[in-house]
């Protein structure tokens, strides 16, 4: 039923297969007097799937927004494939947490071919790309519907197809499944794994869900609690794909991540004047 996806990419089509390396070097971002992130350095390899994991409000999304060129960095540098990020760029695709990012007055197909259309691709090419990526996310049958007529999970699929149809080198995903129910989220995670392997893109995936990170990532970068957040530690995830939550190595990793994040959450609560240990009693 599902079209077999060739991971060794025998023919051009699904992306151009050249995920670009992303280099974050000493990046700091402030909003007025508020320091969101401080001195973050991170090298992401071409074609890698990296998860940014951290407690809510720790500046993960801010960092991602800087990678996408929406937010300017105040210190340090951000380069993609060796070139500095200077603003929004079609090579840097972004999947937003909220499906408000979809264009509600356009059909699903029109949404997906928006990028190719803006880049002046031929009509035939637009149609081919829309068809291909709608097929990849399993939404070909919904091509002529409007986003408002779809479920939350389907809308996020449309966002993913829209970004991939633009054939970016890097896909940035900002808690894309945060607003979905648990069952849909699980399906979407499995799909993401499959789609990422088919597209060959570099992916930076922001989440606060530890299991989601373990399921998807090549590496997991844990961030400290904000303000002035930085990278606390980086965990390689050397588990065979597709991954099982019950894998003992996964359980071990989960314990370590839990501990790491727990420390940061407790620190954040203390900073807010709350006493987590006192509350636990």
Partner 1 sequence: MTVVAAGATATGTDRRAIRTGVRTLRTAGVYILSVLAGVGIWQLLAMKYGPSLVASPSQTLSAARELASDGTLTNSIIASSRRILIGWGLGVLVGVPVGLLVGQIKVVRQLLDPYIEFFRFIPPIAFVTLAVVWLGIGESSKVVLIFYTAVFIVTLNTSAGVMSVNESKLRAAASLGASRRQILLGIVLPSTVPHIVTGARLAMGNSFLTIVSAEIVAAQVGLGSLIWTSRNYGRIDWVFVGIITLGILGFVFDRVLRIVASRVLLRYGVKL
Q: Which residues bind partner 1 (CB under 8 A)?
A: 68-70, 87-90, 92-94, 96, 98, 100-105, 114-115, 118-119, 146, 162-163, 166
Write down the least CB distance from residue 243 to partner 1, Å: 30
Please identify, using beta-carbon distances, which residue of 100 and 277 lies nearer to partner 1: 100
CB of 104 to partner 1, least distance (A): 6
Helices (H), ranges, the chain: 60-67, 108-112, 114-118, 123-136, 152-165, 182-199, 210-216, 248-271, 276-280
Nearer to partner 1, 84 or 236 (CB): 84
- Residue closer to partner 1 by CB (options 119, 123) is 119
Q: Minimum distance from CB of 61 to partner 1 (Å)? A: 11
197 CB-side CA count, 13 A? 15
Residue 158, classed as helix, strand or coil, is helix
| Secondary structure (H, E, C), 188-215 | HHHHHHHHHHHHCCEEEEEECCHHHHHH
Query: Are the beta carbons of 63 and 29 closer than 8 angstroms?
Result: yes
Q: Which is nearer to partner 1, 115 or 226 (CB)?
A: 115
Q: Which is nearer to partner 1, 134 or 237 (CB)?
A: 134
For partner 1, the closer of residues 106 and 127 by Cβ is 106
Minimum Å gap between C-beta 7 and partner 1 is 26
Least gap, CB of 97 to partner 1 (angstroms): 8
> Which of 95, 50, 52, 77 minimizes the C-alpha distance to 226?
52
Give the nearest distance from C-beta 172 to partner 1 in angstroms.
9
C-alpha to C-alpha distances, 266 to 45, 55, 116, 159, 164, nearest whole angstrom: 32, 10, 46, 34, 38
Measured between alpha carbons, how far is 207 from 141 in angstroms, rounded to an integer? 30
């Amino acid at each position: 039923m599902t079209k077999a996806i060739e991971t060794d990419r025998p023919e051009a089509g699904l992306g151009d297969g050249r995920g670009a390396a992303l280099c974050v070097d000493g990046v700091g971002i402030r909003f007025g007097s508020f320091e969101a992130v401080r001195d973050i350095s991170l090298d992401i390899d071409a074609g890698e799937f990296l998860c940014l994991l951290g407690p809510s409000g720790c500046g993960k999304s801010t960092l991602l927004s800087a990678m996408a060129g929406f937010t300017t960095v105040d210190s340090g540098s951000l380069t993609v494939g060796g070139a500095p990020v200077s603003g929004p760029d079609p090579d840097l695709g972004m999947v937003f947490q909220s499906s408000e990012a979809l264009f509600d007055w356009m059909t699903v197909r029109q949404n997906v071919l928006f990028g190719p259309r803006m880049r002046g691709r031929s009509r035939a090419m637009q149609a081919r790309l829309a068809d291909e990526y709608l097929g990849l996310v399993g939404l070909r049958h919904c091509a002529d519907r409007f986003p408002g007529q779809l479920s939350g999970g389907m809308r996020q699929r449309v966002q993913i197809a829209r970004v991939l149809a633009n054939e970016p080198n890097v896909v940035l995903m900002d808690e894309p499944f945060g607003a979905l129910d648990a069952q849909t989220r699980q399906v979407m995670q499995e799909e993401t794994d499959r789609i990422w392997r088919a597209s060959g893109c570099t992916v930076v995936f922001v989440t606060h869900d530890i299991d989601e990170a373990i399921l998807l990532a090549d590496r997991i970068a844990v961030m400290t609690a904000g303000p002035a957040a930085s990278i606390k530690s980086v965990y390689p995830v050397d588990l065979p794909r597709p991954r099982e939550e019950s894998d003992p190595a996964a359980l071990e990793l989960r314990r370590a991540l839990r501990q790491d994040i727990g420390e940061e959450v407790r620190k954040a609560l203390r900073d807010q004047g709350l006493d987590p240990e006192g509350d636990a009693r």
